[in-house]
Amino acid sequence: MTPNALPRRLTSTIIIALAFGAPAWAKTPVASGTGGAVATISEPASQAALAILDRGGNAVDAAVAAAATLGVTDPFSCGVGGGGFMVIYLAKENRVITLDHREVAPAAFRSNAFAPDGKAIDFDTAVASGMAVGVPGTVRGWHDALERYGTMSFKQVLAPAIKVAQDGFKLNDNFVALVTENEKKFALFPETAARYMRDGKALPAGTLLRNPDLANTYRLLSSGGVKAFYSGKLAQAIIDSVNRPPVAAGISVRPGQMALADLANYEARWRQPVRSTYRGYELVGMPLPSSGGVAIAEALNILEGFDLKSMPREKAEHLYMEAARLAFADRNAYLADPEYVDAPVAGLVSKEYAARRRELIDPTQARHHAQPGDPYLFQQDPSVPLRPAAAAKARLLSESAHTTHLAVSDKDGNIVAYTFTIESWGGSGITVPGYGFILNNEMTDFDFSGPHPNVPEAGKRPRSSMSPTIAFRNGKPAFTIGSPGGATIVTTVLQTIFNHIDLGMDMPSALNAPRISERNGQATSIEPGFAGSVQAKALERFGQRWDASAEEIGAANAIVFNPDGTVTAVSEGKRHGVGSALVQKRGH
């Protein structure tokens, strides 16, 4: 997450072609049909998933294939240098399981990592450093998902990504804007600058970018498996990059302290999902250390007590914003790595607690700032966790669309909702020399100073906002949704669900509607073009107010499982350079 205003409005060609009648080659953000389906923000990634599905792979195989390809085409959002969260629905067993492969703090990490003299250091300085790098979890996550629930090997699922990395892909405006945004950070690290810049400037749009180093890294995984990443030469190269960052002459950045043992000991975690209900839907989302599932459940529980359908749209949207504000006050105060912090999750997601929180909402007037509530009274569990000794101070950062989310389903009805990241755009900025991938800066997702449940500790996973979600109705999958965007992920997923279920929008409209992100900060984040609109003015009559620095929020991907048995894959129609939705058999 970064406090800086991020990309100016990206000017990309907008192609909105509905699947029916669109030529086979057209990049389309909406596709309907039968068989498997995929939605990602990258066309080569969606094609990789489809190729794997066509070869008989299942949703897990296809998700890893798409993710590996996103690591090539969207190297500033995600990759093997980071971590993520995967929600998997296994159709035959009618079961959902989640895989946490979040980065962890190295064993030598200390609580004062970002406040060496008791005072928090500047955020950008913290980001571009070895200290910011957490032990990457992505490869372990891919391995564990494939081993347990996939049907294919690394060799098979990485093949499409290797081809894209080897042959290259054409840079679009979005990619160039992200490099331009990061010129200062990338210039610190020659290996990164050399790959994405010439003479200190971003490579122009249309450039064919190859990444043979990353192709070789994927080949290493194909032949050596997960061990080839967490031990041996590649592991050594990672810790060298963290502990002695490969900087340009005359530059110094803060080193980290990562050991080979940190990589060798890295484990992903299978976790039970967070479950909640909303107007006849059952929502299944990501548990801690992501705050996403809990915050979305709380906000929806609050909203459920209002008859939103009978209201004018602006009143319903005002209530959506107020519910998000209250959920964020709690999320900011209580949530962190569950292996380190006894968070009051049962209370936070209870309907009774939501009823208490709902009483705080004025249906005619914005609250502007909410205090955390007392979920401990609603734990309904003999082992009520201890309350934190001191009220945690909320830290609110403004975030854009870092990270990536993909959705895949297969012909047998299995579903994968997968969000993964290297944190800020371009992560720490450090490319591991010779291996072609950028290391994360996930450690800056910790609160820099306490007291706070989310302070840095050795072996701890920083709190996330990633919210891969699957919704069921009458025991059958109804839709899946997720998005990038730091803490705005929570509101993007929440608002899309609200748009779809309460405002009755079809999924493409729900996704393309202007995003309004209220996170209990000074003002609500909005997108360019929203301020001054009829919709904005109507909300201002409730006292809602907007952050002056409007920027694109999120880049969501969804799949809808239609009652007639068809599927509709839905990606962004206009954000992040337009997404790519594909189905195995079109047009049914």
Q: Which stretch binds ligand GLU (CB under 6 A): 192-200, 206-214, 271-279, 458-466?
A: 458-466
**Does 443 engage in binding with ligand GLU (CB under 6 A)?**
no
CA atoms within 13 A on the CB side of 348: 30
Please name every residue paired with 240 in a beta bridge, in sequence order, or none if there are none: none
Of 172, 350, 421, 580, which lies in the binding site for ligand GLU, with binding defined by CB under 6 A? 421
Nearest alpha-carbon partner for 497 in 487, 475, 482, 485: 482
Of 298, 445, 518, 572, which lies in the binding site for ligand GLU, with binding defined by CB under 6 A? 445
φ/ψ region of 427 (left if φ > 0, alpha if ψ in -120 to 50, else beta) reads left
Contacts of 432 (CB under 8 A, 6+ apart): 81, 191, 234, 237, 238, 241, 438, 439
Of 73, 217, 431, 465, which lies in the binding site for ligand GLU, with binding defined by CB under 6 A? 465
Least distance to ligand GLU from the beta carbon of 507, Å? Answer: 22
**Does 576 engage in binding with ligand GLU (CB under 6 A)?**
no
**Does 399 engage in binding with ligand GLU (CB under 6 A)?**
yes
**Does 460 engage in binding with ligand GLU (CB under 6 A)?**
no
SS3 109: coil
For ligand GLU, the closer of residues 135 and 234 by Cβ is 135
Contact 189, 107 (CB under 8 A): no
**Does 402 engage in binding with ligand GLU (CB under 6 A)?**
yes
Of 413, 436, 484, 573, which lies in the binding site for ligand GLU, with binding defined by CB under 6 A? 484
Q: Please count the residues of this chain forming the interface with ligand GLU, following the rule CB under 6 A.
A: 14
Which residue number is nearest to ligand GLU in terms of Cβ? Answer: 486
Buried b (16+ CB within 10 A) or exposed e, 21-59: ebeeeebbbbbbbbbbbbbbbbbbbbbbbbbbbeeebbb
Q: Which stretch binds ligand GLU (CB under 6 A): 35-43, 229-237, 464-472, 580-588?
A: 464-472
**Does 135 engage in binding with ligand GLU (CB under 6 A)?**
no
For ligand GLU, the closer of residues 191 and 399 by Cβ is 399
For ligand GLU, the closer of residues 467 and 544 by Cβ is 467
For ligand GLU, the closer of residues 424 and 584 by Cβ is 424
Q: What does the alpha-carbon distance between residue 62 and residue 60 come to, in Å, rounded to a whole number?
A: 5
Indicate the DSSP class of residue 53. Answer: H
SS3 263: helix
Choice among 138, 403, 491, 496 that is catalytic: 403
| Alpha-carbon distances of 300 from 87, 233, 378, 501, rounded to whole Å | 19, 48, 17, 11
Of 176, 466, 470, 511, which lies in the binding site for ligand GLU, with binding defined by CB under 6 A? 466
Least distance to ligand GLU from the beta carbon of 396, Å? Answer: 13
For ligand GLU, the closer of residues 106 and 485 by Cβ is 485
Dihedral pair phi/psi, residue 466, rounded to 5° = -65, 135
Of 71, 427, 485, 573, which lies in the binding site for ligand GLU, with binding defined by CB under 6 A? 485
**Does 525 engage in binding with ligand GLU (CB under 6 A)?**
no
H/E stretch holding 583: strand 580-586
Active site residue 73: no
**Does 486 engage in binding with ligand GLU (CB under 6 A)?**
yes
CA atoms within 13 A on the CB side of 412: 16
Indicate the DSSP class of residue 284. Answer: E
**Does 454 engage in binding with ligand GLU (CB under 6 A)?**
no
For ligand GLU, the closer of residues 114 and 472 by Cβ is 114
Least distance to ligand GLU from the beta carbon of 385, Å? Answer: 23
Q: What does the alpha-carbon distance between residue 471 and residue 278 come to, in Å, rounded to a whole number?
A: 9
Q: Which stretch binds ligand GLU (CB under 6 A): 15-23, 410-418, 478-486, 519-527?
A: 478-486
Of 47, 276, 301, 403, which lies in the binding site for ligand GLU, with binding defined by CB under 6 A? 403
Write down the H helix ranges in 150-281: 154-167, 173-181, 183-187, 190-196, 212-224, 227-230, 232-243, 260-264
For ligand GLU, the closer of residues 36 and 75 by Cβ is 75
**Does 273 engage in binding with ligand GLU (CB under 6 A)?**
no
Please name every residue paired with 525 in a beta bridge, in sequence order, or none if there are none: 517
Nearest alpha-carbon partner for 266 in 67, 32, 459, 543: 459
Least distance to ligand GLU from the beta carbon of 421, Å? Answer: 4
For ligand GLU, the closer of residues 181 and 442 by Cβ is 442
| Strand 557-561 versus strand 476-482 pairing type | antiparallel
SS3 24: coil
**Does 181 engage in binding with ligand GLU (CB under 6 A)?**
no
**Does 464 engage in binding with ligand GLU (CB under 6 A)?**
yes
For ligand GLU, the closer of residues 80 and 466 by Cβ is 466
Residues identified as active-site? 403
Residues of this chain that interact with ligand GLU (CB under 6 A) are 1, 399, 402-403, 421, 423, 442, 445, 464-466, 484-486
